[in-house]
Structure 1
Amino acid sequence: MKPLKLLGALVAAAMLTGVTDIMAYDIPVSVISDASQMKKSSVENLKEDTRVFKINKNIQVMKVVFTNHYGFDVAGHLYLPENFDSSKKYSAVVISGPFGAVKEQASGLYAQELASRGFVTVAFDQSMTGESGGNRRDMASPDIFTEDYSAAVDFISNLKFVDPEKIGVVGLCGLSGMAITAASNDIRIKAVVTSAMYDMSESISDHYKGYYYTDEQRNIVKKHLAAMRDAEAKKGGLIRGAHEIAVDAEGRVQNYETMFPNKLPDDANPVIKDFFGYYVGRAYHPRAINSNTSAWDSTAPYGFFNFRLMDNIKELTPRPLMLVTGDRAHSRYFSEDVYQKASEPKKLIVVKGATHVDLYDQMDKIPFDEIDNFFRTNLK
C-alpha cells in the first residue's frame, strides 16, 4: 500500500474520476474535493514514529501538513478512532502545547486518548517549531500560534468524515491562552478545554502572578530585548535566549542558550525538577525546545509584551470552557484567574495530588473521563 500523496493531487484525481476515497493503513480516508485550502495540505503514512508516550496500536495515526493564513506550513499528526468508518461523521478535537513542546509529546498523548474514545483528533506543532515551517526557527508569537489553531480547524473541518459543527480544541500549558483566544472569535470552535494552563502573555510580560517585575526591572528587560533585536539585525540571524527573562539583584539579565542546565543541582526548585524530569528525562524529544536541544529566539518575548491573550475572553460566551489544573500545580492560579474572568458556561477541575507536569502524561491524574464527557455534551 503506497503512502498517501499530496491532497491536491488526490483532489484533482477525485474530480476526474469521481472517487474521493483513499487508503491508509487499509482504512479508507475520504477527503473533501472542493476546498482550496486542502490543495496545499498533505496526508501521508507516518514513516518514522518518534512519539515518546505509550502507543495504542489500535489507533491509526498519519502525518499531516496544512497551511495557516500567514503562509506557515503546520505539521501535525491525525489520529483516527478505533474501527474507523469513513462513512460516519465524527466529532473532532485539535490539540497543541505545551509551549516549546512537540506533537510527539503531551499533545499527541491527549490526541491518542481522545481518538480511543471516538474523536478524530489532530495534534500539531506550533509554527516555527518542531516539524512546522518557518525560516525563523524557535520564534514565538501569540498571534501566529492562535492562528495555528484556526488553521487546524480549517484542515480537520474539511475532512469528509468530520462534522464541521462538532469541533473542539484543547490547549496544554502555554498554548492554553492561544486556544481560548482562537475560540473567542472563531465560532467554528464549539468547546474549549485547557490543561495545566499558562497565560503566556502574563507569564512573559509580568512573570509569576504578575508581581515579579518592578517598573525598574521591566525597563531592564526592555533594554535587553532592544539590544538583542539590534544584535540579530546586525548578525542577520537568531540569537538564542530564554522566553522568560530574569533580572538578578544587581539588575543583570539572566539569559540562557538552553532551557535548563545540563544537570540540575540537588537543591533545584521542585518545579524546575518536575519540568526537567519530563522534557530532559522520560519525554525527551530532539525537536522539542524544552528538551534542552535549544532555546527560544532571544526576541520572542516581544509579541507577548505587545499583545494580551485574555483580552477577548468574554467573546467566548456562550461556548463552554473547561479548565483543568492540579491542587499541587504552581500554575493553578492561571486557571483560577481565567475561570473568574470567563462567563458561563464554564467549569474548573482541580485534580487532587496533581502537579503541573503530572497533567502532561500521568494517565491516573489526567481527568480524561471528564474531558470526554465535556466534549460529548457540548459537541452536539
Structure 2
Amino acid sequence: MEHSVKAFPMTAENEHYIFKLSDKVEREHVNYYTRYGIEIAADLYYAKDIDKDLPHKALVIGPPFGGVKEQGPGVYANQLAQKGFIVLAFDPAYHGFSGGMPRYTGSPDTYVEDFSAAVDFLGTLDFVGREKIGAIGICASGGFALGAARQDTRIKAVVTSVLYDIPSLAGSVKGEERQKQLQAGSKARWTDPEKYQLMYPEKPADKIPPNLNPVDAEFFSFYGMKRGWNSHALTNITATSFPSFMSFSVTTHLDSISSRPVLMITSEEAHSKSFTDEVYKKLAEPKEKLVLPHGQHIDFYDNVKIIPFDKISSFFDKNL
C-alpha cells in the first residue's frame, strides 16, 4: 500500500456500525485534516429536524484505545443527537478510515491532536456555536480528551466514561522490564516499523478463547465477538509506538482545565474504576464523579440502558 496521509474512502459497502441509526438522526461522512496533515474520517450526527440557521451546542467523541467511530462513539452520538446536540465521532489518525502510515501508529500527542482537530472542524460549521463545544472520551480517550482540554481552551466541558489512563499504565513499567520494552520498540524502527499485534480474530468469534484473564476476556467479548467486532478494531498500536506512551503523560497539569467543568463516569463493577478515582484527584474544581452501581467497563461502550445519557445531556446543557 502506498504511504499517504489521505483517508480511505468509506462507502455503504465497507462501513460496519454496531448499532442501528435512529430514524430521527442524520449521519454524514465528513473529512478534515489534523495539524500534522493527516486526513481524518469522521461522522457528523444531528437531529433531522434541527434548525441549521441557529448556532447549536456540539460535542466531539473519541473512541476507546484501538476502537473506531462505528463502535462506541457512534452509539453515544446517535443518542446525544436525539437530545439536540451536533455530534462528531472520529477515527483517530492512522486508524479506521482516517489517513496516515504506517497504520496503527499512535502516541499521546496524536490522540490529543485528534480532539483539537475535531474542534477545528466543528468551528467551521455555521450551525455550531464556537463557544459551545464539549468533548467526550470513552475509555482511553477519556485521558486524551482531558489532555486536549488542558491545552485547548476551546473545549468548554469534558465528560470521561470509564477512563483508562494508557500512558500512565505504560509508564508504570519499571527497571529491567522497562528497558526491554524500550529496546524492543526502538529496534523495531529499523527492523519492522509497521509491525503490530493482531489481538482479535478477522471474523467474529462464537466464544471467548480459554485461558484469558478476566480483563482480556471482557475486552474479547466486545472486540472479538459480534457485539462490537469491527475489521478496523482488531489491534491497538505498532511496536514503535510504545516508547512514546512509556515516556509521556496526558493527565498532568489538569488544573489548567479549571474553571471549565469535568464529569467523570464509572461504575462499582468497572475494572477501570481506579483510573477514574486517581485522575479525579488531580482535577481542580469544578468537577463531578458519577459512580453507578452496575455495569462492566465494556457496557459503557454500547449499552444504552447503562450509559447515563440523561446525565451527560444535562451536564452539557448546563455547561455549554
- Paired letter, 2:194: L
Shift of 1:126: 0.4
Match of 1:154 in 2: 120
1:158-177 alignment, distance < 5 Å: 158-177=124-143
2:198 paired with 1:258:
yes
Matching of residues 62-101 of structure 1 within 5 Å: 62-101=28-67
Contact map agreement 1:205 1:301 (CA 8 A) in 2: no
CA–CA separation in structure 1 for the residues paired with 2:185 and 2:118: 31
The answer to whether the 8 Å contact 1:323/1:348 transfers is yes
Q: State the AA in 2 paired with 1:272.
A: D
Q: In the alignment, which of 292, 297, 303 is matched to residue 351 of structure 1? A: 292
Aligned residues of 1:138 and 1:289 also touching (Cα < 8 A)? no
Provide the C-alpha distance between the structure 1 equivalents of 2:102 and 2:211, rounded to a whole number of angstroms.
Answer: 36
Matched residue, 1:329: 270
Select the residue among 303, 310, 316 that pairs with 1:362.
Answer: 303
Q: Secondary structure at the match of 1:155?
A: helix
Q: Using the alignment, how far apart are the partners of 2:12 and 2:219 within structure 1?
A: 29
CA distance in 1, matches of 2:119, 2:209: 43
320-329 vs 49-58, which deviates more? 49-58
Q: Scaled by the length of structure 1, what TM-score is found? A: 0.77
Aligned to 2:238: 297
* Identical positions, percent: 37
Q: Does 1:238 align with 2:182?
A: no
State TM-score, norm by structure 2: 0.91
Q: Which amino acid aligns with 1:270?
A: P
Which residue among 218, 221, 228 is the counterpart of 1:274? Answer: 218
SS at 2:20's partner residue? coil
Question: Among residues 208, 216, 220, which one is paired with 2:176 in the alignment?
Answer: 216
The alpha-carbon deviation at position 45 of structure 1 amounts to: 10
Q: Any unmatched runs of 5+ in structure 1?
A: 1-40, 207-212, 241-256
Does structure 1 residue 226 correspond to structure 2 residue 186?
Answer: yes
- Give the partner amino acid of 1:286: S
Q: C-alpha displacement at 1:260, in angstroms?
A: 4.3
Count of residues in correspondence between the two structures: 308
Q: Work out which structure has the larger RCO, using CA pairs closer than 8 Å and 6 or more positions apart in sequence.
A: 2
Could you tell me how far apart the structure 1 residues matched to 2:209 and 2:155 are?
A: 44
Question: 125, 148, 151: which one pairs with 1:185?
Answer: 151
Cα deviations across residues 106-143 of structure 1 (Å, max 9, x unaligned)?
A: 01111111101000000000000001110211111111
Take 1:187 and 1:46, find their aligned partners in 2: how far apart are those partners?
Answer: 35
Shift of 1:283: 1.3
SS in 1 for 2:88: strand
Aligned-pair CA distance for 1:103 = 0.3
Q: Does 1:287 align with 2:287?
A: no
Looking at structure 1, the residues matched to 282 and 265 of structure 2 have their Cα atoms a distance apart, in angstroms, of 15
| Distance in 2 between residues matched to 1:305 and 1:217, nearest whole Å | 12
Work out whether residues 327 and 352 of structure 1, in 8 Å CA contact, stay in contact via their aligned partners in 2. Answer: yes
Q: Which amino acid aligns with 1:215?
A: G
Structure 2 gap ranges (5+): 1-5
CA RMSD of aligned residues (A): 2.0
Decide which structure has the larger Cα Rg and report it. Answer: 1
